[in-house]
Structure 1
Amino acid sequence: MKTLWGIDLGGTKIEGVVMNAETNEILVRKRIPTEADKGYEHIISQIAKLIDLLKEETQLKPVAVGFSTPGALDPSTQTMKNCNTTCMNGQYMKKDIENAIGVPIEIANDANCFALAEATMGIVKDVVPDAKVVFGIIMGTGVGGGVVINGQVLNGRHGIGGEWGHNVLEEDGYDCYCGKKGCNETVFSGPSLQRYYAKISGKSLTMKEIYQLYKEGNDPYSKDTMQYLIKSFGKALSYIVNVIDPDAIVIGGGVGNIDLLYTEGPEELKNYIFNSRVVETPFLKPKLGDSAGVFGAAELVRAY
């Protein structure tokens, strides 16, 4: 039996899955803590530990393992970059993991793995089965994006394909940790929308609370915040649609639970798209939830 092995490497947990490559049946899933505070070498040892646990439970061995990571592998230097688990940055993680577990690995960032999973195993496969180009969005604590073309992740020359979260939307906006100002992430991530609401209302609420107030219809500040989200989202997304014109867009993350994105989002996109105000692209809610990262990681090694 051919199997697919995937690892979703997060800041607090490492999740692994072994799947039947023919049926996508899950043979085993396990999670262990990342314990990133103990340093880079400890993270590598935790990965090796999880692989050993998966081997023990399945009595199988991987041919290769796919990894979803909180950053990107730089194709030129073969080191990690843009990781919010900062001890990984500058490290030869691909080589170090391969040395630790003894098989080849493939790495893509979490947004790419989300997009890949939903394109090949999730909602896109169900709704738009002939889709060739898929743009996957994660809108939560941060903002990320991933591009999948014909079932393959578009990593790009610099390993930053799909990095939509760090396109500049507001040139005079807030500072972003990446060094620029007004990136998409500083405009319509969950924390950024909470900051916007607090600025206009004087009250600090969670995004869930703000959205609930909007649905109740009695809070003008929540309405303003939702309008700000939709206007910013539509404009930012138009740059993607004008360049790659995807067959489907999937929106994940906590902010992705806001229904307006799927109704008002396409309407706002009409104001910017170079297509005579016609938007036919389906905006889809993800099917796989927090499993998308680990399933996408497994899909990275299907060709092995």
Structure 2
Amino acid sequence: MRIGIDLGGTKTEVIALSDEGHELFRHRVNTPRNDYQATVQTIVDLVLLAEAKTGQTGSVGLGIPGTLSPFSHRVKNANSTWLNGQPLDKDLVQALNRDVRIANDANCLAVSEAIDGAGAGKSLVFAVIIGTGSGAGVAINGVSRTGGNGNAGEWGHNPLPWMDADELRYREEVPCYCGQQGCIETFVSGTGFATDYHRLSGVVLKGADIIKLLEQQDPVAELAMSRYEMRLAKSLAQVVNLLDPDVIVLGGGMSNNDRLYQTVPTLMKKWVFGGECETPVFKAMHGDSSGVRGAAWLWPVKG
């Protein structure tokens, strides 16, 4: 049995999977925000609960909204800021008395979709989270690629490519929390979509409400979406130019807009070197479950 934990800023979820990938148990609790020790205890309690409910002991994988530094062996780049600087793997190994594997949540999405999701059977899967924030992960032959600095897949914190005049103005108006300007995340996250709609209309709405207006053929919502699609396409074309993945998988709230899968692949062609691009762009097959499933799959199947 393998156990996965998805540590989110609001909710923390556990799943127990058989070695064949069948769900044995799942449970979700509130994340104790801004309390590191309570967060560690929550993870421990969920592991023990999964084992009590299944009557089995399992390997433990954890997805976090950040990464472990390969140098300090402490969490960095987490937007759940109370994790930053903490030796999370060491504390969990000590508390659970076993090895624990930790990866970025977007990398867990990539692993999940590569193992038995939209990228199953593909050797190089690039998975994107387009939700409140925007990040990405890389899975190679079903294994998460972390990189020598722990930054593999940090696509959202590169600058939006091929900026037009309005995007250059946007860059100045909407700085990224990371301290840089013009990050892809500020444009293609759900937050970025809502921000651009506000810039166009003067009205503050949540992304879901803008999508409802889009369905009613509201012209401003349509303009915001068409701009969003072009920005996402440019950003993914850059990935094709660099990695040329076998498949791109989208997760997070914005990925539920089905028109993206018709518009974005066509738009990408303009920006891919040579003008040719048949890279498939798919919705995550496991949806919101991909992160926690991917955490469980951080331990490979035994031969």
- Aligned match of 1:69: 64
Q: Which moved more, 1:88-97 or 1:205-214?
A: 205-214
Which residue of the partner structure matches residue 134 of structure 1?
Answer: 125
| C-alpha contact 2:251 2:288 (8 A) present in aligned 1 | no
User: Which residue identity lines up with residue 251 of structure 1 in the other structure?
Assistant: L
Deviations along 1:197-251, one digit per CA (max 9) or x if unpaired, are: 112112222222222322322x221121112101111111111111110111111
Is the Cα contact below 8 Å between 2:3 and 2:47 reproduced in 1? no
Residue 67 of structure 1 aligns to a residue whose secondary structure is strand
Which one of the candidate residues 8, 11, 14 is aligned to 1:10? Answer: 8
Q: 1:95 Cα shift?
A: 0.4
Provide Cα deviations, 1:167-191, integer angstroms capped at 9, x if missing partner: 1115650210001011111112112
Matched, 1:116 2:96: no
Q: CA deviation at 1:33?
A: 2.4
Q: Equivalent residue of 1:123, what SS? A: coil
Residue of 21, 32, 36 corresponding to 1:35:
32
Structure 1 segment 107-186 matched on structure 2, within 5 A: 107-125=102-120, 129=121, 131-169=122-160, 173=171, 174-186=174-186
Gap runs ≥5 in structure 1: none
- The aligned residue for residue 83 of structure 1 is 78
- Look up the SS of the partner of 1:46 in the other structure: helix
The corresponding residue for 2:244 is 245
2:195 paired with 1:204? no
User: Which is further off, 285-294 or 203-212?
Assistant: 203-212
CA distance in 1, matches of 2:214, 2:16: 42
Contact 1:171/1:181 (CA < 8 Å) preserved in 2?
no
Q: Is the CA contact 2:114–2:141 (under 8 Å) kept in the aligned structure 1? A: no
**Partner Cα distance (2:15, 2:300) in 1:** 14
Deviation at 1:146, TM superposition (A): 0.6
Instruction: Report the more deviating stretch, 70-79 or 251-260.
Output: 251-260
Is 1:187 the counterpart of 2:184? The answer is no
* SS of match in other structure, 1:103: coil
Q: Secondary structure at the match of 1:16?
A: strand
Change (3 A) 1:24 1:303: closer
Q: Unpaired segments of 5 or more residues in structure 2? A: 161-166
Structure-to-structure mapping, 1:288-299, within 5 angstroms: 288-299=286-297
SS at match of 1:238: helix
| SS in structure 1 of the partner of residue 119 of structure 2 | helix
Matched residue SS, 1:234: helix
1: distance between equivalents of 2:168 and 2:299?
40
In the superposition, the TM-score normalised over structure 2's length comes to 0.92
CA distance in 1, matches of 2:201, 2:244: 37
Task: Output the TM-score relative to the length of structure 1.
Answer: 0.92
> Which of 208-217 and 70-79 deviates more?
208-217
One-letter code aligned to 1:34: T
Contact 1:230 1:260 in 2 (8 A): no
